[in-house]
Structure 1
Amino acid sequence: MAVLPIRDRAGNTLVDFRVVAEGDLTRLSEQVPMPASLVVVAHDGAVLMIFDSRRKHWELPGGMREPGETARQAAVRELREETGIHAEDLTFAAVAEFGLVRPERRELLAVYRVQLRVVPPLTVNDEALDFRWWPPTQPVSDDMSPLDAEIARRAEMLR
């Protein structure tokens, strides 16, 4: 596990990874915006990473909340849209805090987990060009988000 904060090539920083109660998300989002959710999908000692079509690197599935959507609803929807995995039984793991650079701002992301017994077929789409199972004990490759990799490692330690 890396010492926080850690920075990616673009200058974005993972500032903190906090275990909080899911019921605290509303209060936290009143202090710092929480526009998105991530999902750590685990199977057989590895975590699912998607190759993002826009950022051109491996990262965790997840994305922006739609108006009126809870963090959990966004996580379920984004997981389905980006991978084809229909999982309603996500476990809330933590909140990741970021310092982002374009534009400069502070954001929180809700982090959820799901442990798969069987891997369903994964669906390549406009957002996720490919999938890979990455063991969090392995080094982070140059084409992987070091921030998402660290979130995956920390979420896996919670189970």
Structure 2
Amino acid sequence: MSITSNKDGFELLACLPMKEDELREDVPLAGSYAVINCGERFLICFNKWRQQWEVPAGGREEGETPRECASRELFEETSQIVNDLEFIGLIKVKKPNGDIKYNPIYYASVDKLVPFQANEETEQIVLWDLIEEIGHMDEVDKAVLEWCKVISAKGKNE
């Protein structure tokens, strides 16, 4: 049973909190997400190709670790450099063809953003409160942000 699905047919099946050292070798990891919180809002970017708001994320390049992928995608899509990304878990997603993939989720809080430079994929970034109407937001990415909001709130209360 899925939590949600997006317009492209990807289904979010589970959000799996864990520590990075709990990752098993046999879990097929796909591209990494970089979830950035700034003043109780989350950094999202408008993808020109898909015409929607998304969390900075993307596939790993050869020889790249999941953490390096998250950092690179964050920089390429939003111009942000965050050195203290923390692994908080995986999401389990069913692709339109039925294959299952696991995306590592990296999280950080920052005090402010650096200026954004538009690029071939991203035309705009914003800090979003998950409530304000912004246009089409990828449904899977929104669910990931909602999960991260809960995880980060738990961390503050511990």
With normalisation by structure 2, the TM-score equals 0.88
Q: Which residue of structure 2 aligns with residue 85 of structure 1?
A: 80
- Correspondence list, 1:1-159, <5 A: 4-27=2-25, 30-31=26-27, 33-101=28-96, 103-136=97-130, 138=131, 143-159=136-152
Give, in angstroms, the shift of residue 140 of structure 1: 6.9
Structure 1 moving runs of 4+ over 4 Å: 139-142
Q: Which residue of structure 1 aligns with residue 156 of structure 2?
A: none
Q: Which whole-Å deviations, capped at 9, do the CAs of 1:28-55 have from their partners, x for residues lacking one?
A: xx23x21200011111111111111221
Q: Which amino acid aligns with 2:35?
A: V
Q: Which amino acid aligns with 1:9?
A: K
Q: How many Å separate the matches in 2 of 1:46 and 1:150?
A: 14
Residue-pair matches, total: 152
SS at 1:39's partner residue? strand
With normalisation by structure 1, the TM-score equals 0.87
Q: How many Å separate the matches in 2 of 1:73 and 1:149?
A: 23
SS at 2:125's partner residue? strand
Whether the 8 Å CA contact 1:94–1:155 is kept in 2: the answer is no
Structure 1, unaligned runs of 5 or more: none
Closer/same/farther in 2, CA of residues 56 and 12 from structure 1, 3 Å limit: same
Whether the 8 Å CA contact 1:48–1:132 is kept in 2: the answer is yes
Give, in angstroms, the shift of residue 142 of structure 1: 5.3
Pairwise CA RMSD of aligned residues?
A: 1.8
Q: Which whole-Å deviations, capped at 9, do the CAs of 1:118-142 have from their partners, x for residues lacking one?
A: 2211221111111122103x16765
